Structure 1
Amino acid sequence: MIDILFEDGEALVIDKPAGLPIERPRKGGPSLEDHLDALKLGFQRPPVPVHRIDTDTSGCLLLARNPKALKRFARAFEERKVGKRYLGIVSGVPETDAGTIELALSKISSAEKGWRMIAAKKGKPSVTHWRVLQTLDLGTLIEFTPETGRTHQIRIHAAAGLGLPLLGDPVYGDTTSGPRTMLHAAGLSVEREGKPPIVAVAPLPADFVAMGARDG
């Protein structure tokens, strides 16, 4: 059962479990698609994901309940009318308590490592604000507030911007340092014309709590 964090006639925000891919993997296996019929909740159409979060990332995911809403929400993401708050546990302690990371990011791929993002002058600009919330035994709990929405943005910003990859990140860090990539989409807000904004908060998952993390 997937927890619902927000619901009205045109939107759902769900608390996506870590490890559940949004799209069916090429090799097969479980995905969010298996749950969309159950998430109709009396509506004729199954809801459709508006954006993507990584398979390993838990937390807020916005679904549209009709095609018009999907277009409006997609436009809101493009126009940066969406507020996103992430929590991540990084491997170490930053030199300062807060800051802003600005990097141009490019996608590269290689036979041995697959594809990944790198900081590159010719890449697309990306901006993330961050602040330390808590020092833990195994690292630091950090709040990340991205302005842009590049692929793997927070993961590469932690590794290349802070010099401290997220615990468990198999691409930018060390997969043995955590049970998974320790990133959680803790909050989501979406502006809407003529309606109250969509506002959702996802509680800290059990693996964050097990490391001693607290939110607020």
Structure 2
Amino acid sequence: MSTTNPDDEIDYLPPADTGLDLVHVDDDIVVVVKPAGLLSVPGRGADRADCMASRVQARFADALIVHRLDMATSGLLVFGRGPEVQRQLSIAFAGRDVHKRYEAVVHGLVQAEQGEIDLPLITDWPRRPRQMVCFERGKPSLTRFRVVERDAMQGTTRVSLEPVTGRSHQLRVHLMAKGHPIVGDPLYGPEVGATRLMLHAAELGLNHPRSGVAQKWVSPVPF
């Protein structure tokens, strides 16, 4: 997992702590829904200490972060309870043995019913925290998409997204590059109306680190 955090470059006003939205808890894992606008892990400086990890650890002291969501993205996060479980889960994420599905609302009417976006990505250093497509130096990045519904009146499309790789801002940059930025994206979309980034981590599936039994969690899309 990268030690850099693109969200450190963005102004931070975390949402109020109203308690954890817990989806699953056992002796090995904690699954929680992160609200939009909250960092997954602490950022640089005392003003960025409030995050999903710190809120979870206030109740489950042994819970360790395994993966991240962008600050602007809401949805499912899993924590490993203790370093050994964290290690096992990190290996599963690195080996792409985890099912992740997101849902987004994008600008424009997507024509294809489904498909893949295969574009290499790299940090756009002069314009951090932005990422960009770069065929010379970018890391391979693959996203699968499927249209859920089109709203001709609003000129938007709801899409289901499965990131095969896990690059920073991958879904946001891939959709922007195809001419369909996510509604409410302050970095990659037009400056219009929405109060939040319309991107939610809606499904997460993996094998339980102790039993090996397949687990799947679902979080209702809040938009």
In which range does the TM-score fall when normalised by the shorter chain?
Answer: 0.7 to 0.9
Structure 1 unaligned blocks of 5 or more: 209-216
Q: Could you give the per-residue CA deviations for residues 147-168 of structure 1, whole angstroms, max 9, x where no partner exists?
A: 11111110011101x3110011
The 10-residue stretch of structure 1 (121-130 or 30-39) with the greater mean CA deviation from structure 2: 30-39
Aligned-partner Cα distance in 2 for 1:37–1:100: 37
Is 2:145 the counterpart of 1:130? yes
Residue 176 of structure 1 and its aligned partner are, at CA, apart by 2.8
Q: What SS does the corresponding residue of 2:38 show, helix, strand or coil?
A: coil
Distance 2:122 2:217 in 1: 31
- Cα offset for 1:146? 1.2
Distance in 2, Cα, partners of 1:175 & 1:5: 34
Distance in 2, matches of 1:114 and 1:106, equals 11
Cα shift at 1:16: 0.6
| Deviation of the 1:175 alpha carbon | 4.1
Aligned equivalent of 2:213, options 176, 196, 214: 196
> What does the per-residue CA deviation read over 1:41-65, in whole Å, with 9 as the maximum and x for residues that have no partner?
xxxx331110010011011001111
* 1:214 match: none
Counterpart residue identity of residue 169, structure 2: H
What are the Cα deviations for residues 56-76 of structure 1, in whole angstroms up to 9, with x where unaligned?
Answer: 101100111111000000000
**More displaced, 72-81 or 92-101?**
92-101
Counterpart of 1:115 (choices 114, 118, 129) is 129
Q: Which residue number corresponds to residue 92 of structure 1?
A: 108
What SS does the corresponding residue of 1:85 show, helix, strand or coil?
Answer: strand
Contact kept in structure 2, 1:6 and 1:199, CA below 8 Å: no
Go from structure 1 to structure 2 and tell me whether the alpha carbon gap of 1:104 and 1:62 turns closer, same or farther (over 3 Å shift). Answer: same
Q: Name structure 2 gaps, 5 residues minimum.
A: 1-18
Please, what is the CA RMSD of the aligned residues? 1.7
CA distance in 1, matches of 2:82, 2:191: 38
The offset of 1:33, in angstroms, is 4.2
Contact 1:15 1:59 in 2 (8 A): yes
Q: Which residue of 1 aligns with 2:199?
A: 183
SS at the partner of 2:120?
A: strand
Is the aligned partner of 1:158 residue 2:175?
A: yes
Q: Normalising to structure 2: TM-score of the pair?
A: 0.83
Is the 8 Å Cα contact of residues 167 and 175 (structure 1) preserved in structure 2? no
TM-score by length of 1: 0.86
Whether the 8 Å CA contact 1:156–1:172 is kept in 2: the answer is yes
3-state DSSP class of the match of 2:117?
strand
**1:33–1:99: structure 2 CA closer, same or farther, 3 Å change rule?**
closer
Identity of aligned residues (%): 35
User: Following superposition, which runs of at least 4 residues in structure 1 exceed 6 angstroms of deviation?
Assistant: none
Matches within 5 A, 1:51-90: 51-90=67-106
Q: Residue 56 of structure 2 aligns to which amino acid in structure 1?
A: L
Contact 2:53 2:64 in 1 (8 A): no
